[in-house]
Every structure is written in structure tokens, then in C-alpha cells.
Amino acid sequence: MRILSATSQLLDSALKAILRFPYVFMCSATASALGVFLVHYNDTVDPLLRDQIGHYALIAGLGISLFISSHLYAERKGSFIQRFWPMFASVAILALCYLDFRHFYEMRNDEGAALRFFGYLLGVHLIAAFFPVRNKRNSNAVWQYNRVLFLRTNTTAVYTGVLYAGLAGAILAVDTLFSMQFDERIYADLWMCMAGFGSSLIFTAGLPKDICSLEDNHELPKGLSVFAAYILLPLVVIYGVILYAYEGKIIANWSLPEGWVSYLIMAFSVVGILALLLLHPYGQNEEKPWINRYTRNYYFALYPLLILLFVAALVRIDQYGFTVLRYSLLALAIWLAFIAIYMPLTRNRHIAMVPMSLLTLLVIAWFFPGTNAWSISVSSQKARLKKELTQLGLWDANKQQLMAGKVALNDSTSIALFEQFDYLLDKHGPNALKPFMAIPDSATTNGDYVEEKRRRYSRYMAQSYMENELQKIGLSRYSSFDVAEAVPVEAFELNASTNHQSLTAVPKGNWAWTTDVSLDNLLYLNTVHLEFDSAQSVLFVYQGSKTWEFPVLETAKKRIGALKYRPYTNERYKLGNQGLIFSQDGCYLDIKDIDFQWTDQRQTWSIKHLNGSLWLAQD
């Protein structure tokens, strides 16, 4: 009976959670269902549809956190408009996220799409951190609310992991003991269901019914203080000691900081602020005065490190211009400086300012038109590139077009300029190359290739067009040394062969001796032997006092147009039914298959391999 009672209570709690957060479970169920669909049909469904389903699943996952915030906010409002406008706003936000994500994906900017999705994920969680709280200036209400979210998140992660492991083990046991022969994808199906719908059920079932009552709750969990005080704080101290020692080294040597030190300062700042937020109410406890001292002094300790952070960021920006990551780093440094000044001035009274200000920064720096990292990066790199091209005489400001310079560029300058063009194309698409060049649609699309149907342009074809245009003004991806050394000789080969279904007929005549010819095993007998001059690509046939000389490479060049220039990809050429025929008095050579190899150092073709047949006339 107790089991039935417990099961009934569990189902009742689940039903109440679903009725309380219906939109949350619509999103979680959608994400799980789409995940299961992809597990089973990922390799068979149309690639375009597969990608769209995957993106729908990602957006549905964002909706889980966003609608939790909307539902909690609506619960403390009375009128219809006050209760439902967050739902409508959430739907609009998810739609914009989907359209924005699809834009970056279709423009082949996979890095940008991943960063934007990380921004959406961070944004919806920042909204959840303060939006449902009624009195956001009440730090105790904000802290207690986030304490509940923090603990529910950890509990959900543990419960979900344990349940998945237990259920997967049960399936494995049944499969093994009873020879059920389950499809192996059942484990992935189970994970999709647990990670989406199951985890949402566990999380929401434990949320308090009235979050407004948290304003008067002064509960301080001991485990949370132990985690913050004895795990996070020591990490902050270790980072701080390392960074201060490094800053001392910079001052002593009077040298510029390493670029990656910025990430270390970010880690120090983020971990420290997290520890501050977790310890916020404990700092008012007279029994632990050291926590209060840490809270007061931490932000002051940030100031020297923030100076180091700004120096590291601005030096790189001055040298190389803005990129998406450099702009984001500078924006985050500005936010840290704001928090480090604001929080001590207000005596840490308004901790809601931390997520609110970070959300504001995120919208401005990553999503707002004209000020987002991608817009600034394109403008900065194009301005820098235009300035350098003008100085080198490669840009006509009046005609707004590229032109060949009067002086040949050295390899390092050519490669550096080429990489800037390549960065614009790779990170921001063909439109970012304007006004330097306009890549036509006909040069960037290939409707016959499945991958290109999913994207707005072919990256390979766009890069090929760009390379051809840049070569006209002397810009190249490689230096002469790079081509000779970095690219293996074997990369430039051409194979020529007869049709597989055809065999060359035996030539007319009275032949006394025939043999197969191969460079791998040249014939050498008492009366007949073959030699190959690799330097000249000439095959010699000797029989007693007779000598026949066949200039194989020169003859092949007349037949095969591709041998007149250096190819940049492996190619195959059909010789037709006749192969390569060489005929001299008393000797007949028919080559059916031959491989040519380009040598950079000699700037010429050579023969790597051939197969054929040889006939010698009867004396």
C-alpha cells in the first residue's frame, strides 16, 4: 500500500507541475520528441529537414528556461494582460532566436551560430535570475530566489543522472537476461526523454508555489556556505596570487602582457563574483566576520587586474583590429569595471544589478544592430584592410576598386593581406568583401551538391573566386616557400588511362617478341632490355645494336591539355580506347595507364608510373 501511495503522490506532483507550467512542458516534450526523431532518422531524412529539426530542438530547449521565468512572473499578477504578456514576449523571443540562428547557419558562419546560441542560452538564464522577483531591490528576495534555482538545478542534475543510469541498467538487464534484442538506440531515446521532459519535471516539481514569500525567508543553508567558502574562495585566492605575481613580472620587465592572461583574469573575476553572490547573506553574520571583509575588499583587489585586462585587450585591438572575440572581451572588461565600482558604492545592497547589467551588455554587444560584435568586427577589419591596401597602392579610392600595385609585394605582406580577406569571407560571408569585390551568385552556388542546398553559398566556390580576384593584384594564400615545402609533391598528380572496358588491339605486323611494360619492373634480358630516363621522362628500348627512344612525356603533353599547366588538385584523364601509341621501325609501344607528378623545385612534370605493352618486329 505504501508503494501505491507513493506512486500516487508522485503522479499527483507531476500532474500539478505540468498544469502549473504548461508551456514549459510543451517545449521540453518538443525538444525530447525531436531528439528521439533525430536519433532514429538522422542518416535517412533529407539533410535540409534534418538541420531544421535540430534547430527547432535547440530553440525548444531555450524555451524551457524562458517559460519558467514567464510562469513564475505571471503567478503573482492579477489581470489577464499582466499574466500573459510574458508568454507572448517569450514566443517572440524564441522566434527571433530561431531566425537569427538560421541566418548565421545558412551563411556558413558555424562559429557565429555557436556563439549566438551560447548568447541565447546565457540570456534566458540571466532573465530567469531576476525577472520573476517582485522587489528586485530587495537583495534577500533575489538571493533566496536564486538559492532555490541553484539548489533545484543541482538536485535535477543528480536525479536525472541517477534515473537515467538506473533505467538504462534495467533495460540492459532485461535485454541480456531475456534475449529481448532491444535496438541500441533505445539508450539514446531514454537520454533524450530524461534530459528534456524528465529533467523539466524534476526541476519544476520542487519550485515553491509562492516565490513572493521568499522575501521574508532568511534560511541560510550550511552546505552552500561550505561550498562557497571552502571551495570557491580558495580557487579565487590561487588565481589572485598567480595574476598579481604575473602583473609584478610585467612591471619589472616593462613588457606587454600575454594575450591569454585575459581569460585567466576573466576566470578569476567570474569565480570571485559567484562566490560573492553565494556568500552575500553570510557576510551579514557576525559569527563569520572574515566573509564580510572578503566581500568588501574583493572588488578593490580587482582594480589592478582590470587595468592589466584593458591593456592586454587594447594592445591586440590596436595591432589587429576588432574581431568578434576581442570586441566581446573588451565589452566584458567594461562590465567588470562597472560592477567593481557600482557594488562597493552601494555596499552590495542590490545584487540583482549583476544579472541585469550583464543581460544589458549581452544584448548590446551581441544582438543589437550596429553595436553587436559582428557588425563592429566587419567595420574594423574593412577599415584596417582599406588603409593597408591604400598605402600599398592596391586600392583606388576614386573608383572604389582593387588595382595591381606598381611594386611586387613580399611574401609576408601578401599572405597577411590575403588572410584578412579570408577572415572576412569565412566569418562574415561574401557580402563582407564589399566594396573590395562583389562575388556573384553564379560563382558561389552549386545546386547539385546536397551541402549547398542547406547553405546560401558554397564556401569553396566563393574562396576560389576570391583567390582568383586577389591573384590579379598579387595577393596569394601561400609564399613560394610554402608551396614548395608545405604542400607535398604527391598532392599534384594526374592519371591518364584507357577505358576499362576496352583493350588495345594487337597492331598489324609480324611480331616476334611481346611483353608488358611497367616502370615497377623494367625488363632486362640478354637480347632485350628497357631503361627509363627519369630526368627526361624518356623510355629506351635496346635489342642488340638496335635502340628505340620514346619521349613519353613530350608526346603526352601534346595529347593531354592538363599537362600544359600545374594543377592544384588530383585529376584523372581518359586516354580513350587507343591509349598512348608510339611506333618506330620494328618497335610498337602502347601505354594504357600512366601517372604524372608535378615537382615544384624543377617546375616540371615527371612520370611516376606507367603500364603498357611492347611489340618487337621479327628480324
Q: Report the helix count and the strand count for the chain, using DSSP H and E.
A: 20, 11
Separation of alpha carbons 319 and 104, rounded Å: 27
Cis status of the peptide bond prior to 281, with omega within 30 of 0: no
Return the pLDDT at 542. 82
How far apart are the C-alpha atoms of 110 and 165, rounded to whole Å? Answer: 33
10-residue mean pLDDT profile of the chain (619 residues): values are 70 88 95 94 81 93 95 82 89 95 83 91 94 84 89 93 94 88 90 94 87 71 76 81 82 69 80 80 65 76 88 85 91 92 85 93 93 93 91 87 80 83 88 86 56 64 82 72 37 51 57 71 66 78 82 77 52 61 82 74 72 77
pLDDT score, position 322: 92
pLDDT value, residue 597 = 75
* Distance from C-alpha of 424 to C-alpha of 200, rounded to nearest angstrom: 41
Q: Facing residues of 342 across strands?
A: none
* End-to-end C-alpha distance for the chain, whole angstroms: 109
Strand (E) or helix (H) holding 572 = strand 571-576
244 to each of 268, 308, 330, 412, 594, how far by Cα in Å? 11, 10, 20, 37, 66
Neighbours of 389 (CB within 10 A): 22
How far apart CA 561 and CA 567 sit, in angstroms, is: 11
Question: What is residue 488's predicted lDDT score, i.e. its pLDDT?
Answer: 38
**pLDDT recorded at residue 444:** 65
